[in-house]
Amino acid sequence: MTMQVFEISEGDGPVILGLPHTGIWLPEDVAAKLNDRGRGLDDTDWHIERLYAGLLPGVTTVRALFHRYVIDANRDPSGESLYPGQNTTGLVPLTDFDGNPIWAETPDAAEVERRRLAFHAPYHAALAAQVERVRARHGVAILYDCHSIRSHIPFLFEGTLPDFNVGTNNGATCAPQVAEAVTGVTTAAAGYTHVLNGRFKGGWTTRHYGRPREGIHAIQMELAQSTHLSAEAHPFAYDAAKAARLRPHLSRILHHLAALAPELARKE
């Protein structure tokens, strides 16, 4: 079975949304090699595409349709760890976020390379093309990478994750004004917690594309799934009431970023 591995919605504004982890499609040969736990797809960024839908006119979106267990579109294609010395998952994860094996038949190096070429590379070719298109139009491109994760995962971090986890790789991937535009909203969001460059500092997408001196500003938002799901367990149902409370804050973030683009372009 084959299918398009990504989908694109082109907008005329300066903001691009990356969605590398919302896809749930598994090729038949990959699904056959997963164990029962792996086929549960627990580590999906559930409903993030729905959460962000319609928040910003003119936004461009690039969404991977394959599941992160096929290959993780937000990991370094070399396989190098983004968080050396800390528990994490790799380019093709061998475990889930709880450290449990997900494969009945573990992919070997040749299989990982096959998937890199078939899925990871096309997704990033599409994303890179959109970044260049938007930068050519506006003088800058602002890439906002959309993520979510369960708020309690002892294998990956202690305690409870803040609601808004903003990552700029310690300020390297965007101009300070970009981080300030985002954290200004998260700081003022009553009833929510936030952190900048905490456990999640931005994945490979943010680190790879974020070149502020070249007019490409990248930032990652990792949302705790408790902010928009009924429960952080199967069936990972979307909670419309929670989402309705959260979406205005996300909308303000995206509108602030779009409004910032002309200022950033003037400084290039």
Residue 84 has pLDDT above 90, yes or no: no
- Is residue 4 over pLDDT 90? no
Q: What is the CA radius of gyration of the chain?
A: 18
pLDDT tens-digit profile of 104-117?
Answer: 999 999 999 999 99
- Helices H, strands E: what count in the chain? 7, 7
CB 43 within 8 A of CB 97: yes
Decide: 260 and 142 in contact? Cβ < 8 Å: yes
Over the stretch 187-230, which tens digit does the pLDDT of each residue have?
A: 999 999 999 999 999 999 999 999 999 999 999 999 999 999 99
Banded model confidence at residue 1, pLDDT cuts 50, 70, 90: very low
Q: What pLDDT was estimated at residue 3?
A: 65
> Which whole number is the average pLDDT over 159-168?
97
Q: What is the pTM of this model?
A: 0.96
DSSP code of residue 103: B
Instruction: State the pLDDT confidence band at 268, using cuts at 50, 70 and 90.
Output: low
Query: Which strand (E) or helix (H) includes residue 64?
Result: strand 60-64
Give the max Cα distance, the chain.
Answer: 54
